[in-house]
Chains A and B, each alone.
Chain A
Amino acid sequence: MQTVANIAVLVAIYALIGSGYVLIYRVSRVLNLAQGELMMLVAYLLFSLATLFGGHPASALAGAVLLSLLVGLVLYVVLMRRMTGELVIAAVLVTIALGILLRGLMVLVWTGQMARPLEKLGWQNSPLALGHGVALSSVAVTTIFVAIAIYVGLFVFFRYTAWGVRMRAVGENPLLAAQRGIKLHVAYAMAWALATFSGGCAGMLLALDSGLDGTMAIIGLKAFPVVLVGGLDSLRGAIVGALIVASAEVLAIQLIDPLVSDVVPFVVLIAMLAVRPWGLFGTEEDIQRV
């Protein structure tokens, strides 16, 4: 049972980070390979805000959430906007460069040492007994609920709101969307803001649970197989992909060796690519285009 609980927490983390990849890819066909660095950046922003507003944990948290949206927006307007109309591969390379740049900057600003935003906020991460001998930390339980809430929010957004529908339209056929007078830049900017937000939430929750240092970006990279397994343009696929990768990872830790955990997602990925390169829920033609 404890294993199931551990898997659920990891699924929640991977699904959150993965939704960031999916959002941007689905709307603009760009793979954002700086997703790991962006979630780390948001986590560090939370740490700094927690240091500044020590007495008001809620406002520090709210501030970090707002900043996560803002970071995505600014990145699009300042950097990625110029890449519209260019080759997709060029845009992807820009995100790689962005990731390297961010990693360097973060070491400069926050050093590479372990930061613990939870302590700064003055909260406790007490373990919760969930019955049947299962216990999870309170942050881990929160993570599961946050992931569910964000996914429900995203599904509602894409199905029922005008801009959600427009973003799907832009993702399918940007040319037609422009002819219909849909503002492409608004759709792209919203995708970036939402992606940084959901990835940032994963980063903040991870940092609250187990602290924050330079290795967090690797977790972002490990979530990449998740979306490739699920299919790059499908949120549903990201959940299933997270389930598969997280299960494999947790089981490998328990049955084989904790050291293999970092490798497992990529082993799953290679197996998947050999069988179904466009992922479980992805559109076949999309991969050919990349």
Chain B
Amino acid sequence: MSARGALLRLEQLEVVYQKVVTAIQGVSLEVAEGQIVALLGSNGAGKTTTLRAITGFLGVDDARVTDGRVWFEGRSIENQPPQLVAHQGIAIVPERQKVFETLTVTENLEATVPGAGTTRAEQRRRVERVFEHFPRLHAARRRLAGYLSGGERQMLAIGAALLCTPRLLLVDELSQGLAPRIVENLLERLVELRKELGLTVLLVEQSAHVALQVADHGYILENGRVVLDGTPQRLREHKDVQEFYLGQAGGGERRSYRDVKQYRRSRRWYG
């Protein structure tokens, strides 16, 4: 994929919930350093499970990586506890409950900035940096995070994740429930941040429109498997992506992807 090699690599990953339910099977993907990679899929495709497998949060739901590997910077990290994963430089912006609602915006950031090995002044500077990236947060810095709008919450969650000085940022459903203009804005900010901080981003999205705008590479996940991957260009040209994810019907009339989902898809991709 890239000459620089992958920062994150999933190798034939399999996750089983409660020892019986297989959520993802044989998922392989690569995220090269400095790239924005999109992981697309509809509800229940296994996107969040894949993220949890990377961040070590499977244990909460009694799930385990039963097969395959998660490589981060050449070390295998599957089934490691979340704090350890966080300290190695993987930060996540979760889908729900992404901020501490009973804390103010500033407190949210202060709670996150690592205390060990830094001075108080340095910590304050890093919080200020987040405010520079997201001026709206500065205006709202004394408000409780529970009263923020969806867009502000998302900014705060990204800002807080940045304070962990991640090498890899995982974003779960950036666009969910947000107005298109705000999503555009957040995407621009992500692209800037990547340039500025040398960040690598794995964007997990239901909306292919959104993710393919900024991604360097995309994977499509269905029923726990990667069924298609490639550059945004290639994905956009693919008939099924157009039909099911971008809402453009191949033969003129628009169709709801639910009507034809199972049937058409299994024919083209597996058949």
Contacts and interface: CB of A to CB of B under 8 A. Distances in A.
A172 B114 contact: no
A78 to B, nearest CB: 20
A182 B100 CA distance: 13
A182 B109 CA distance: 12
Nearest to B81: A178
B100 A179 contact: no
B60 interface: yes
Contact of B111 (A178, A180, A184): A180
A180 B164 contact: yes
Nearest to B99: A176
A176 B92 CA distance: 9
A181 B99 CA distance: 14
Interface residues of B, number: 31
B5 interface: no
Given A162-B123, A180-B112, A169 B103 contact: yes
A116 interface: no
A175 B164 contact: no
B83 A184 contact: yes
Contact of A176 (B100, B107, B114): B100
B111 A182 contact: yes
Contacts of B98: 176
Contact of A179 (B59, B82, B103): B82
Interface residues of A, number: 19
A142 B108 CA distance: 37
Contacts of B100: 168-169, 172-173, 176-177
- Residue picked from A165, A175, A177, A182, most chain B C-beta under 10 Å: A165
B126 to A, nearest CB: 12
B90 to A, nearest CB: 9
Given A179-B86, A179-B94, A180-B164, A163 B115 contact: yes
Interface of A is mostly: helix
A168 B100 CA distance: 9
Contact of B110 (A165, A175, A178, A179): A165
B86 A180 contact: yes
Interface in A151-196: 162-163, 165-166, 168-169, 172-173, 175-184
B86 A178 contact: yes
A85 B160 CA distance: 25
A182 B113 CA distance: 9
A175 B87 contact: no
B101 interface: yes
B91 A179 contact: yes
Contacts of A183: 83
A168 B82 contact: no
A90 to B, nearest CB: 16
A183 to B, nearest CB: 7
Contacts of B82: 178-179
B55 A175 contact: no
A184 B57 CA distance: 15
Interface in B214-242: none
Contact of B103 (A168, A175, A181): A168
B97 interface: yes
A165 B83 contact: no
Nearest to A182: B111
B164 A181 contact: yes
Nearest to A176: B97
A86 to B, nearest CB: 12
B146 to A, nearest CB: 10
B102 interface: yes
B60 to A, nearest CB: 7
A52 to B, nearest CB: 37
Chain B CB within 10 Å — which of A163, A168, A172 has the most? A172
Contacts of A184: 83
A172 B102 CA distance: 7
Contacts of B113: 162
A165 B107 contact: yes
A163 to B, nearest CB: 7
A180 B160 contact: yes
Interface in B147-173: 160-161, 163-164
B115 A162 contact: yes
B101 A172 contact: yes
Contacts of A162: 110-111, 113, 115, 123
17 contacts: A85-B59, A165-B107, A165-B111, A168-B111, A169-B100, A169-B108, A175-B97, A176-B97, A176-B98, A179-B86, A179-B94, A180-B91, A180-B111, A181-B86, A181-B112, A182-B112, A184-B83
Given A176-B100, A179-B57, 10 more contacts: A163-B115, A165-B103, A172-B100, A176-B97, A177-B100, A177-B111, A180-B111, A180-B160, A181-B86, A181-B112
Interface of B: 55, 57, 59-60, 82-83, 86-87, 91-92, 94, 97-103, 107-108, 110-115, 123, 160-161, 163-164
